[in-house]
Amino acid sequence: MLPWSGSALGLADLGFVSGRARPLVIGIIGAQNAGKTTLLGAWYLLLGRGLANLGGRRFAGSYSLSGWEAVAGAMRWAPGHPPRFPPHTTSRGGRAPGMLHLALRHEDHGRPVDYLFTDAPGEWFQKWAVNTNSQEGGGARWVSDHADAFLVVADREALSGEAMGSARGSLQLLARRLASELRERPVALVWTKADVEIAPAMETAVRKAVFDVMPNAAEFSVSVVDEADGDPALNKGTGLVDLLRWAVDVRRATVELPSPAATSKDPLFVYGSRPK
């Protein structure tokens, strides 16, 4: 079990972050075991090792360092050793996901931009995909309501394993659910575990299932395994930096803010822009 309390940010902590402009929330959506938390841990390690070229943006702090450590600590890349992975994300019965905060500052112009990456358990998304109002999927619904952009994770391992049929069905349901709640927000299909072979027909079918309902989606392929067999100290995995660049390039759609809702208890959404 992860020591989440006091490590990832919960809703109560977000007042700190929202003292600046509202952070961009990047929602990471995918089934159990799909590689969501690993992706976050791998990004943190790349940032820490100075290997993430983000087009002139630099790490400018985090309010959730211990949360990042909790996801990445288990995975530190040791030269010559196979990759290690974070523990399964537990649901804690929560109604909102754990969130990892990252501030990036452009070297040429001043103010840091805040990002929050959601790290929610896959079970939530599976419940939400079947029924958007389901009690157990409440945290997934939160992500769907509040994220400024989405990564939809397609797990190549699950899509090539024994249960590939049901993995494909689940992903199709997830894609349809998200499409119906997407509004104009950016979305990327993210193939995780790119080091795992998958049948071309399966890959085509999954891609079609996603693009049929979200034709403007971007597409990425990532893995913690480096595609080149080079110096392990320079291991950057595969595709991880490209995806992070896409995520941090996200711009919020310009919205007209209604007058502030002073009664809101939600520090991020005091402007009452949360869709009902």
Ligand X SMILES: Nc1nc2c(ncn2[C@@H]2O[C@H](COP(=O)(O)OP(=O)(O)OP(=O)(O)O)[C@@H](O)[C@H]2O)c(=O)[nH]1
Residues within the interface to ligand X (CB under 6 A): 30, 32-38, 85-86, 88-89, 121-122, 157, 192-193, 195-196, 223-225
What's the closest the beta carbon of residue 21 comes to Mg ion, in angstroms? Answer: 28
Q: Measured from the CB of residue 118, what is the shortest distance to Mg ion in angstroms? A: 10
Q: Among Mg ion, ligand X, none, what does residue 92 contact (CB within 5–8 Å per kind)?
A: none
- State how beta strands 57-59 and 149-155 pair: unpaired
Burial 207-217 (b: 16+ CB within 10 A, else e): eebbeebbeeb
CA 141, 145, 149 angle in degrees (round to 5)?
110
- From 37-45, 77-85, 124-132, 222-230, give the range in contact with Mg ion by CB under 5 A: 37-45
Q: Which does 35 bind (CB under 5 to 8 A by kind): ligand X, Mg ion, none?
A: ligand X
What is the torsion angle, in degrees rounded to the nearest 10, for the CA atoms of residue 241, residue 242, residue 243 and residue 247? 90
As measured in angstroms, the least distance from the Cβ of 127 to Mg ion is 15
Residue type at 234 in one-letter notation: L
Please say which residue, 22 or 156, places its beta carbon nearer to Mg ion.
Answer: 156
What are the tokens at 151? 């990564």
User: Which of ligand X, Mg ion, none has residue 145 at its interface (CB below 5 to 8 Å by kind)?
Assistant: none
Does position 37 bind Mg ion by CB under 5 A?
yes
User: Which of 114, 117, 73 lies closest to 97, judged by CA?
Assistant: 117
Q: Which does 193 bind (CB under 5 to 8 A by kind): Mg ion, ligand X, none?
A: ligand X
Backbone dihedral angles phi then psi of residue 263, each to the nearest 5 degrees: -85, -10
- Of 212 and 227, nearer to ligand X (C-beta) is 227
Instruction: Please say which residue, 103 or 151, places its beta carbon nearer to ligand X.
Output: 151
Q: Shortest approach of ligand X to residue 38 CB, angstroms? A: 3
Nearest distance from residue 89's CB to Mg ion, in Å?
A: 3
Per residue, the 3-state secondary structure of 50-62, as one string, reads CCCCECCEEECCC
**Ranges within 86-105 binding Mg ion (CB under 5 A):** 89
Angle of CA points 203, 191, 72, to nearest 5°: 155
- The torsion angles phi and psi of 89, rounded to 5 degrees, stand at -80, 120
Binding site for Mg ion (CB under 5 A): 36-37, 89
